[in-house]
Amino acid sequence: MEGRRRGAPGSDEDFTFVSPVVKYLLFFFNFIFWVISLFMVAIGVYARVVKHAEAALACLSVDPAMMLLVVGILMFIITFCGCVGSLRENICLLQTFCISLTVIFIIQLAAGILGFIFSDKARYKVTEMINNAIVHYRDDADLQNLIDYGQTEFGCCGGATYTDWSQNIYFNCNQSNPSRERCSVPFSCCILSRKQVVLNTMCGQGMQDMEYNEAGNHIHTNGCIDRMVDWIHSNLFILGGIALGLAIPQLVGMLLSQILINQINDQIKLQNYNLKHRSDPWS
């Protein structure tokens, strides 16, 4: 369809064509995200089948492996429509691509607004998820490493406070608990000094039995939820930049696809016009 004339030979009407720049820019734009979607699906399948993530991280409410699979497959289908639609100049596929991006963008925008409006409910959901993770802390090494990393990075312990670790059967403070870690907290809760040559991995032993101020000399007593909220408040510009960075490719994809759709529609109108006047030159 590229480079066809608008009118009959010798007429003053100018040319109309499908821009190859828009066409191949949209193709490469989709091809990059199509490859990314393949990696996401591959990682999701590996985590689901090989690592058995559904058993390991079931306490996180949303299985990360399934989430990767769903997002990867959805992204694969949408970018496939964009790739083939741009190369073949197929309006149906391009419209599917454009509408899909628009719907996803609206959902993301609505989720952000609802999360801000119902922040208390979002906080409650996060608290519930963290407490479930604490209960299953010893069930899987991957989950344990994830919690330890979070507590170390944020300098926190537990969900709301360090005594939340009593929800775990190994750290429970019940007198009938036979565990050697009874009334303790994980090592990742400990306050580590750079001057320490030898790390005391048992520094969390019996910390739940201590008073808040006394325990604060050895471990982080603040819960991870408050730390996370403080981190979000102090990094709003960074998070806003990330959100904008995710939104820009979607907006670019919508813009390019709509431009290409309009150009293809102009070509179709031109073809119909030429066919009509060739069959009826006196009209």
The answer to whether residue 70 scores a pLDDT higher than 70 is yes
> Do 63 and 108 reside in the same domain of the chain?
yes
Say what angle helices 236-279 and 20-45 make with each other, to 10 degrees. Answer: 130
The pLDDT, as a whole number, for residue 257 is: 93
Whether residue 252 sits in one domain with residue 196: no
Based on the domain organization, do 66 and 111 belong to the same domain?
yes
Which residues fall within 8 angstroms of residue 277, CB to CB, at 6 or more apart? 8, 283
| The predicted structure's pLDDT at residue 1 | 46
Reduced to 3 states, what is the DSSP secondary structure of residue 1? coil
Judgement on whether residues 200 and 268 belong to the same structural domain of the protein: no
- My answer on whether 99 and 39 are in the same domain is yes
What are 216's strand-pairing partners? none
> Do residue 179 and residue 257 come from a single domain?
no
* 48 phi and psi angles, rounded to 5 deg: -75, -45
Q: Do 160 and 70 belong to one domain?
A: no
DSSP structural state of residue 198? S
The least confident of 63-77, 249-263, 267-281 is 267-281
In a domain, residue 184? The reply is yes
DSSP state, residue 163: G
CB 30 within 8 A of CB 100: no
pLDDT digits (tens, 9 = 90+) for 82-96: 999 998 889 999 999
Residue 258 confidence (pLDDT) = 93
Q: Taking residues 58-81, what's their average pLDDT?
A: 79
Do 223 and 254 sit in the same domain of this protein?
Answer: no
Same domain, yes or no, for 170 and 226? yes
Give 96-125 as a DSSP string: HHHHHHHHHHHHHHHHHHHHHHTHHHHHHH
Residues in a beta bridge with 219: 190
Q: What is the pLDDT of residue 157?
A: 94
Average pLDDT over residues 222-229: 89
pLDDT of residue 220: 92
Q: Are residues 30 and 101 in the same domain?
A: yes
Closest C-alpha among 38, 18, 8 to residue 90: 18
Look at residue 168 and tell me if it is in a domain.
Answer: yes
166-225 pLDDT tens trace: 999 999 999 888 988 999 999 999 988 766 655 677 888 889 988 888 988 889 999 999
Domain span at 265:
20-120+241-279
Residues 210 and 258 in one domain: no
Residue 4 forms part of a structural domain: no
pLDDT tier at 103, thresholds 50, 70, 90:
very high
Share of the chain above pLDDT 90, in %: 35
16 CB-near residues (< 8 Å, 6+ apart): 4, 5, 6, 263, 266, 267, 270
Residues 55 and 187 in one domain: no
Structure tokens at 255: 């813009």
Q: What is the mean pLDDT of residues 73-77?
A: 93
Q: Which residues, in sequence order, are CB contacts of 184 under 8 Å at separation 6+?
A: 165, 171, 204, 205, 206, 207, 208
Residue 28: per-residue pLDDT? 93
15 forms bridges with which residues in the sheet? 5
pLDDT value for 189: 93
Residue 12 carries which DSSP code? S
Q: What is the mean pLDDT of the chain?
A: 82
- Do the domain assignments include residue 156? yes
Q: Out of 11-15, 152-156, 270-274, give the one with best mean pLDDT.
A: 152-156
For residue 29, how many other CB atoms are within 10 A of its CB? Answer: 19
Phi first, then psi, for residue 169 (nearest 5°) are -65, -25
Q: What is the pLDDT of residues 11-42, one digit of tens each?
A: 434 445 778 899 999 999 999 999 999 998 99
pLDDT band for 58, please (50, 70, 90 cuts).
low
- If one counts the domains in the chain, the total is 2
